[in-house]
Amino acid sequence: MKLAVPVLVAGLLSGCGYVGPPQPPTLDIPATIADFRAGEYGENIEIAFTMPSTTTEALPLENVRSLELRIRENGAQDKIVMLPVPIPGPATSEVPVRDWIGKSITLSVRVTGPKGKASIWSNPAALTVIPPLPPPSTPKPQNVDGGVQLAWTGTGPRYRIFRAEADGLPAPLTDTERSPYLDATTLFGTRYRYMVQTIAADNQWSLVSAEAEITPVDTFAPAIPEGLSAVPTPQSIELSWTRNTETDLRGYNILRSTDGAPFVTIATLVDVPAYSDSKIEPGKKYRYTVSAVDLTGNESAPSAITEATAQ
């Protein structure tokens, strides 16, 4: 019977898994926010950052008690603002700018986890607060030769132009210091929406203006052909002129006047800057002019007149 107890104990131990040493409880401290940004946007200070999803121990952050914004002014007591707690991922929030106008401040945020332990304060963002910038007026787009011209009024000193195509999302187009601005990257028949924003610095912006819409249409004639010359030969009068540079050029119309009579069209949509007029009579005086036509049918004014007498 003395062997029974050791045998029983050994049997019990052999039926159980090994239990390691006890582990300390997790701290559940949220990871530190490292991409904090702040800027003036209209009448608010807008902040942006990535809300953490893990703890400092690389474990999932199951719960968040609070999100704090610290606003620090030199020589003054820090102000703590409690912010709404967003879900993990990219986040934004805002506070009114009115209490900080004319002051240089530094902002940062931190997160408090489920056990009441807070993260380290985020990277700081410095801001010298100015009075809110008024938004520019609604831009006025105009269909002009070369693109869309935008005009607006505002207080400057700089402006950012946003453009959207059709029902797409607006995107920054360019920064400029003055109105008007020519958008030379448009296409005829495409609907565009434009908005303008006043900028004082890289982190100080007005609200964006109301949007204006335009669908540019090609109503612009090609340039008037230049350099027209007429050289008589025994069988014809040879015409030549300088080629137009428009990318949408379709061709040239050629007009002729015989012995002072009215001009009549003798050829249409000639696709090269040259023409041989063989329907002539010796001794008669012929006068010529040329116009250019684009793909949508816009026609230039006639060129300077040149003349030649048939041999």
Quick one: residue 99, left, alpha or beta (phi over 0 = left, psi -120 to 50 = alpha)? alpha
Q: What is the pLDDT of residues 166-195, one digit of tens each?
A: 999 999 999 999 999 999 999 999 999 999
> Is there a cis peptide before residue 216, judged by omega within 30 degrees of 0?
no
Element at 129 (helix H, strand E): none
Residue 76's pLDDT is: 85
Calculate the CA dihedral of residues 115, 116, 119, 122 and round it to 10 degrees: 140
Q: Is the pTM of this model over 0.85?
A: no
Backbone dihedral angles phi then psi of residue 251, each to the nearest 5 degrees = 170, -170
Domain 37-128 falls under CATH 3.40.50.300: no
Q: Which among 254, 242, 241, 259 is positioned nearest to 308, based on CA atoms? A: 259
CA dist 230 and 275 (Å) reads 10
Share the mean pLDDT of the chain.
92
Instruction: Note whether 57 and 72 are within 8 A (CB).
Output: no
Q: What is the pLDDT of residues 50-102, one digit of tens each?
A: 999 999 999 999 899 999 999 999 878 899 999 999 999 999 999 999 999 99
As a CATH number, domain 140-214 is 2.60.40.10
| Predicted confidence (pLDDT) at residue 15 exceeds the cutoff of 50 | no
Backbone dihedral angles phi then psi of residue 200, each to the nearest 5 degrees = -105, -30
Residue 299's pLDDT is: 98
In the CATH hierarchy, which top-level class contains the domain 226-309? mainly beta
Q: Is 10 helix (H, G, I), strand (E, B) or coil?
A: helix
| Predicted confidence (pLDDT) at residue 36 exceeds the cutoff of 60 | yes
Sketch the domain layout of the chain as residue ranges: 37-128, 140-214, 226-309
- How would residue 252 be classed by pLDDT, with cut points 50, 70 and 90? very high
Q: What is the pLDDT of residues 228-248, one digit of tens each?
A: 999 999 999 999 999 999 999
Q: What is the pLDDT of residues 127-162, one digit of tens each?
A: 999 999 999 999 999 999 899 999 999 998 999 999
Matching CATH topology for 37-128 and 140-214? yes
> Is there a cis peptide before residue 180, judged by omega within 30 degrees of 0?
yes
Q: Is 163 helix (H, G, I), strand (E, B) or coil?
A: strand
Instruction: Note whether 262 and 277 are within 8 A (CB).
Output: no
